[in-house]
């Protein structure tokens, strides 16, 4: 009898533990409490319930930290602080659009993008990277590499018929009932008469001669309708593809003009940038963040890469982007970046620009240090671009 009681108690503990938020029980069978955000575990759950204590100054704990207090982060040099650290939330840094603050490495990294069939459960921003989840029942996402949530599926109206159900990666496909595409084809089969038939004009047909009724003519008309609808669908797809290409080109030109206007470029420089075929999804870190970070100090140090002329920076980035074997990744290693950081930069469309923009926000990021790193990876062409006579600054 005693073993049965012991087994029963163990079974009850397992059942209650599954329903308990912490998944742990005290020796008396009560559910162990979970420390809320801003608190840490002072005494582990055992004979008695969990005891929590507030996080000390300079530390924080969130609902995902399992009762541990972590040290508050410091925003990188040149990146403004959006919200100071509190007991329940870490410091929030204001990275540029399309970037988020990567706490593990202390830098602004490109946002992740969701695939088709997935939606953004959490938008990329000050609180972290994009969190993608598979679209659930009644929702879909047809876009590739996006940061939008799943959309609700379309519901066919009473005058439409559903020819394809909504899926995670495609919306519901509806068609007007008036098209009669789904009509029963058995009515359109030609009737064959085994007896002599007489037409209204008095002409007779021998037995076994095929006779076409008005229903047969209707079947022929349906075939013509099918062909017409198919041609219309193909034409509509071609028009849609042409429209998307036109919109994409207009958006790229608009981005190019906006970037040229911010840099104060001439019309010739704008045309060159437009012809180069290089476009950014978001404004660069340097164009936005450095302007915020340097407004407090009107004296600019010309030895720093962050104060290099924009067109010089673009030339350096272009050479590093096009470099075969000794490009931006080798430069990042020479500047002391970790391989995980370089992999993050490689996810963006302009990794050379992201690398140099993040490096330029560090203290002591001088042109002389950059030239030394370029010399180690044997890129004298980039050093020459930095040390051009038209630059007029010292690299020391």
Domain co-membership, 295 together with 330: yes
- 120 by Cβ neighbours in 10 Å (0-12 / 13-18 / 19+) ranks as buried
**283-298 per-position pLDDT tens digit:** 443 444 444 444 444 3
CA distance 272 to 223: 54
Residues of the chain with pLDDT under 50: 14-17, 182-200, 203-206, 208-210, 212, 264-299, 391-396
Domain count, the chain: 3
- Here the CATH number for the domain that contains residue 22 is 2.10.50.10
Token digits of residue 220: 């022929």
Token digits of residue 12: 């009850």
Domain co-membership, 232 together with 274: yes
In which residue are the tokens 């962050």 written?
Answer: 306
pLDDT at 151: 93
Domain co-membership, 262 together with 326: no
**Any domain includes 121:** no
pLDDT at 276: 38
**Any domain includes 342:** yes
CA distance 338 to 355: 11
- Count CA within 13 A, CB hemisphere, residue 342: 13
pLDDT at 303: 77
Report the predicted TM-score, pTM, of the whole model to 2 decimal places.
0.43
**Any domain includes 143:** no
Domain co-membership, 222 together with 290: no
pLDDT at 30: 86
pLDDT at 298: 35
Residue whose C-alpha is closest to residue 51's, from 59, 41, 65: 41
Domain co-membership, 256 together with 313: no
The domain in which residue 311 lies consists of 282-386
pLDDT at 288: 43
CA distance 396 to 388: 14
Domain co-membership, 240 together with 323: no
pLDDT at 192: 43
Domain co-membership, 297 together with 380: yes
β-strand pairing of 81-83 with 92-93: antiparallel
């Amino acid at each position: 009898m005693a073993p049965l009681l012991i087994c029963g108690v163990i079974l009850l503990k397992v059942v209650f533990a599954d329903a308990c938020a912490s998944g742990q029980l005290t020796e008396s069978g009560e559910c162990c409490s979970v420390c809320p955000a801003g608190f840490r575990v002072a005494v582990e759950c055992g004979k008695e319930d969990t005891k929590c204590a507030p996080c000390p100054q300079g530390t924080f704990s969130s609902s995902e930290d399992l009762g541990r207090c972590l040290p508050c982060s410091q925003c990188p040099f040149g990146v403004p602080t959006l919200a100071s650290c509190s007991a329940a939330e870490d410091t929030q840094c204001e990275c540029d659009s399309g970037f988020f603050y990567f706490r593990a490495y202390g830098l602004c990294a490109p946002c992740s993008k969701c695939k088709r069939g997935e939606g953004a459960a959490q938008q990329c921003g000050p609180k972290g990277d994009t969190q993608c989840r598979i679209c659930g029942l009644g929702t879909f996402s047809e876009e590739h590499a996006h940061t939008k949530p799943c959309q609700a599926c379309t519901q066919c109206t009473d005058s439409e018929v559903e020819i394809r159900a909504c899926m995670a990666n495609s919306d519901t496909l509806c068609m007007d009932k008036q098209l009669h595409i789904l009509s029963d084809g058995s009515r359109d089969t030609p009737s064959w008469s085994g007896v002599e038939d007489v037409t209204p004009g008095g002409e007779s047909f021998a037995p076994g001669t095929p006779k076409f009724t008005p229903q047969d003519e209707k079947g022929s008309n349906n075939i013509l309708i099918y062909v017409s609808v198919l041609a219309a669908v193909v034409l509509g797809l071609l028009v849609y593809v042409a429209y998307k290409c036109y919109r994409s080109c207009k958006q790229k030109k608009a981005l190019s003009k906006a970037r040229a206007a911010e840099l104060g470029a001439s019309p010739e420089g704008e045309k060159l940038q437009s012809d180069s075929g290089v476009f950014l999804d978001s404004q660069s870190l340097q164009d936005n963040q450095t302007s915020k970070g340097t407004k407090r100090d009107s004296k600019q140090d010309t030895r720093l890469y962050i104060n290099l002329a924009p067109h010089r920076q673009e030339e350096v980035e272009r050479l590093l982007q096009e470099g075969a074997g000794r490009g931006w990744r080798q430069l990042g290693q020479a500047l002391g970046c970790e391989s995980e950081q370089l992999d993050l930069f490689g996810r963006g469309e302009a990794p050379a620009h992201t690398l140099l923009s993040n490096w330029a926000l560090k203290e002591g990021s001088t042109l002389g240090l950059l030239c030394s790193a370029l010399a180690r990876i044997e890129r004298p062409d980039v050093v020459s671009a930095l040390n051009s006579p038209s630059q007029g600054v010292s690299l020391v």
